[in-house]
Structure 1
């Protein structure tokens, strides 16, 4: 998958993660794409730990969204500490 495909997959994973996770996530499109791409990396690591080869499958999207949700929780914790 090229850069364009990674950006599109990151956008989809980021949007799905923001839709699934409850709460107010005030971030723009760029942060959503970055969240999704990094979530895909985290999801890939999780899939390898579990022993699932998810390259190019629907499971890849699922693990990307799971990774993005994890990063979204971390992002929310960091931002809330900064505001307090």
Structure 2
């Protein structure tokens, strides 16, 4: 697959993963795109190395999309866990409304 196909696959996989993962969406389109591309790579790697399945066979193959969406969802969950903020307000603007 070409670089444009990876970008499109990553964007769509990231957007679908964003719809599937519960919680507030604080990241923008660029972070979604990057998480989607990284998720596609992670999903393809895990599918081929761990489960011995064909992970990335082509742009229009269902296994490619499933691997990309699952990988993006896992990375999105990890991103949400790392960037989760506590409920209390702190910092410079804590007392102002």
| TM-based fold match above 0.5 | yes
Displacement of 1:6 after TM fit? 0.8
Q: Which runs of 5+ in 1 are unaligned?
A: none
Separation in structure 1 between the aligned mates of residue 4 and residue 45 of structure 2, nearest angstrom: 22
Separation in structure 1 between the aligned mates of residue 64 and residue 2 of structure 2, nearest angstrom: 16
Separation in structure 1 between the aligned mates of residue 23 and residue 81 of structure 2, nearest angstrom: 12
Residue matched to 2:12: 12
Residue matched to 2:41: 41
Matches within 5 A, 1:11-30: 11-30=11-30
Q: Which has the higher helix share?
A: 1
Q: Does 1:53 align with 2:57?
A: no
Residue matched to 2:89: none
C-alpha RMSD of matched pairs (Å):
1.1
Q: Which runs of 5+ in 2 are unaligned?
A: 87-97
Separation in structure 1 between the aligned mates of residue 28 and residue 4 of structure 2, nearest angstrom: 19
**TM-score normalised according to structure 1 size:** 0.90
Residue matched to 1:77: 81
